[in-house]
Structure 1
Amino acid sequence: MKQGLLLINLGTPDSTDVSAVKTYLSEFLTDKRVIDLPVLLRYVLVYLIILPFRAKKSAHAYQSIWTEQGSPLLIHNQQIANQLQLKLGADFKVVLGMRYGSPSILNALNQLKECESITILPLYPQYSSAATGSSIEEVMRLLAKQEVIPSITIIRDFFQHPSYINAQTKVISHHMDEDDFLLFSYHGIPERQVQKSGCKTVCQEACPTVSSINQGCYKAQCHETSRLLASALNLTENQYTTSFQSRLGKTPWIKPYTDELLSELIAKGIKNLAVVCPSFVTDCLETLEEMGIRTREQWLKLGGKKFTLIPCMNDDPDWISAIIELIKK
């Protein structure tokens, strides 16, 4: 009997048309774990405030990174699934499901119905309710409808797994020069979601080491990833820092904000900046457009001399090997 491996990522619009982007954003933003507000307030916010103004802007952003083959995020994730299938062989069935959009998690699970056991791997290194939690909840909701439920293994996070750190370190070192200052830029989340995770204090600076007390804290996990990567790269504390990007709305999100931190780095005399986004394993809108285009332009306008966007791991062989170690541990 084959073993199933379900890879999950966030998702992408089917095209760059405004209507397709609006459909995708609607599914994404009405998720109660993404915008964790009362349902009526959430729907008013999404349909009357966000979508009428954001869909066209987001469509333009997607157009700036779209390829002839389609969405970079979808392409890279399909390549990962294909490489894993080749490496794992006939004993495994590897499928990809997107939390929002296509291919759906439902479609992926339907392909795994003959599997006696399934490993579920949300491709988010650090746990957050909005991404990992939502993906796992959707899998459980769909599996509950099946007559025969397979044995399930869930890999909740891998922010400090040695194989992930090793693969990410190799990609960074390959693209970073010795005189670069390294910025670890993670996707941000609202401060209230950190507090709801059980972390009672939203740290203004680096979080303490991850422990049983704050093991579900997304921000603490991000800082731990930064510390492990910096150590592997032999960086001192004045050669790197951590920030958070992609905030939405006016409510407080975890800090420091990437776009606001840049001027502080310039004021410190930093001119050569390398940016890596360790919360993303594949390049996508947030890395290619937000960082690669807008943040690059901002850095150069502020007076920076060099901006290097370090690519995500995508289907790098070391990352493929790391996934295999994750699922076989």
Structure 2
Amino acid sequence: MKTKTGVLLINIGTPKDCDIRSVKTYLREFLSDPRVIDLPNIIRWLLVNLIIVPRRAPKSLKAYKKIWQPCGSPLEIYSDKLKQSLQQSMQDEFIVEIAMRYGKNSIQKALQRLSECGKLIVIPLFPQYSSAATESAIEAMFAALEKKWRSSDVKVITSFYDHPDFVSAYTEVIRKNLPKTPIDMLLFSYHGLPVRHIEKTGCGANCNKVNVCPKVSKENLNCYRAQCYATSEALAQRLGLSLKKYLTTFQSRLGGTKWIEPYTDKILNDLKAQGVKNIAIVCPAFVTDCLETLEEIGIRLRKKWEDLGGEEFTLIPCLNINPRWIKTLKNIVLEQNC
């Protein structure tokens, strides 16, 4: 009998339920990850359990309530559909599973469901590499693997921001969802990171973490910020946008530490002062719509733009279960299974 290949997709995670206890549990697990808050253990524990979670959980719950669906969080719903769609598109020799780095449907449980597979292809669903997301997922995956698979039987995708099929899929989604009214500016908004995270990856490029990053090279190969700028450039070229028609920005800051710039929420003030009226925003660091896209951008940022006197505000959805995105994942798997 031919040995089957397991395909493990890993996303960030979501609270089990939309209640304060579930949100606190999720935040505590997420923020206790040393790759997320890279401080000494005792300081991180005190910060997370005594300050951040007690203060942030009620606000996060309020935000989750605005996007929660009858059958769960959007991220969970789309992730389950993604798994089903990819499985249907693959041959019988593949078994597809979805896991979450934090919260319900853990990596360990997903690997148990793949225990009969002879080979494993792991795809953290983060297009651009970062220690906080990608490396954390990979580290947790290998810890859960124990001795089931030899390292030679496990292949891991660390990034796919520059994969032509990924760029094509996002280009298609953007084109389909742009409004009929011409926009003045397209914002590519990515999840932010503390500046020190970029520095810890060994980025040797001449960059001040404020202006445009140099192109990805051996000096900044694993630089998250550089990969984000490369993603924006690739998408802008496919869309035929001039440099004056798009910007790369970063969202989702936490705490008072220095984060990579420019900030998505702050840039709106500059755009309004420049006479920009109609904007569209897409979030290419996310492949699945979630709290950061639907609530932070789709609700809070939209309100800020309206309060500033802006006119059109269009949030482009993530890839979710777009057929071209399913085909992209299929092609990545087949490339790794050669």
TM range (shorter): over 0.9
1:251 paired with 2:261, answer no
**3-state SS of 1:89 partner:** coil
Question: Which residue, 54, 62, 87 being the options, matches 1:60?
Answer: 62
Question: Which residue, 279, 283, 287 being the options, matches 2:285?
Answer: 279
Alpha-carbon distance, 1:303 to partner: 1.1
Who is 2:297 aligned against?
A: 291
1:237 paired with 2:243, answer yes
Alpha-carbon distance, 1:328 to partner: 1.5
1:311 paired with 2:313, answer no
Check the 8 A contact 1:65/1:285 in 2, yes or no.
Answer: yes
AA matched with 2:287: V
1:322 paired with 2:325, answer no
1:188 paired with 2:192, answer yes
- Distance in 1 between residues matched to 2:151 and 2:232, nearest whole Å: 38
- Distance in 1 between residues matched to 2:122 and 2:328, nearest whole Å: 15
Alpha-carbon distance, 1:150 to partner: 7.2
Who is 1:15 aligned against?
A: 17
AA matched with 2:126: Y
- Distance in 2 between residues matched to 1:215 and 1:144, nearest whole Å: 29
Question: Which residue, 178, 182, 187 being the options, matches 1:179?
Answer: 182
RMSD value over aligned CA atoms?
A: 1.2
- The farther-off stretch of 301-310 and 146-155 is 146-155
Who is 1:268 aligned against?
A: 274
- Distance in 1 between residues matched to 2:234 and 2:308, nearest whole Å: 30
Alignment of 1:1-329 (within 5 A): 1-146=3-148, 151-177=153-179, 179-180=182-183, 181-200=185-204, 201-329=207-335
Alpha-carbon distance, 1:145 to partner: 4.6
Alpha-carbon distance, 1:90 to partner: 1.5
- Distance in 1 between residues matched to 2:47 and 2:277, nearest whole Å: 40
AA matched with 2:182: D
- Distance in 1 between residues matched to 2:326 and 2:278, nearest whole Å: 30
- Distance in 2 between residues matched to 1:155 and 1:223, nearest whole Å: 20
Alpha-carbon distance, 1:147 to partner: 7.5
- Distance in 1 between residues matched to 2:36 and 2:47, nearest whole Å: 13
- Distance in 1 between residues matched to 2:55 and 2:72, nearest whole Å: 24
Alpha-carbon distance, 1:6 to partner: 0.1
Deviations 1:88-144, CA, capped at 9 Å, x for gaps: 031110001100011110000001111110000000000000000000000111112
- Distance in 2 between residues matched to 1:202 and 1:323, nearest whole Å: 34
Output the TM-score relative to the length of structure 2: 0.95
AA matched with 2:16: D
- Distance in 1 between residues matched to 2:35 and 2:209, nearest whole Å: 22
Alpha-carbon distance, 1:148 to partner: 6.5
Output the TM-score relative to the length of structure 1: 0.98
Alpha-carbon distance, 1:216 to partner: 0.4
- Distance in 1 between residues matched to 2:233 and 2:151, nearest whole Å: 39
**Can you give the 5+ residue segments of structure 2 that lack an aligned partner in the other structure?**
none
**3-state SS of 1:278 partner:** coil
Check the 8 A contact 2:120/2:153 in 1, yes or no.
Answer: yes
Check the 8 A contact 1:127/1:157 in 2, yes or no.
Answer: yes
What is the percent sequence identity of the aligned residues? 50
Check the 8 A contact 1:115/1:150 in 2, yes or no.
Answer: no
- Distance in 2 between residues matched to 1:206 and 1:149, nearest whole Å: 38
AA matched with 2:44: R
Segments of 4+ in structure 1 off by > 4 A? 147-150
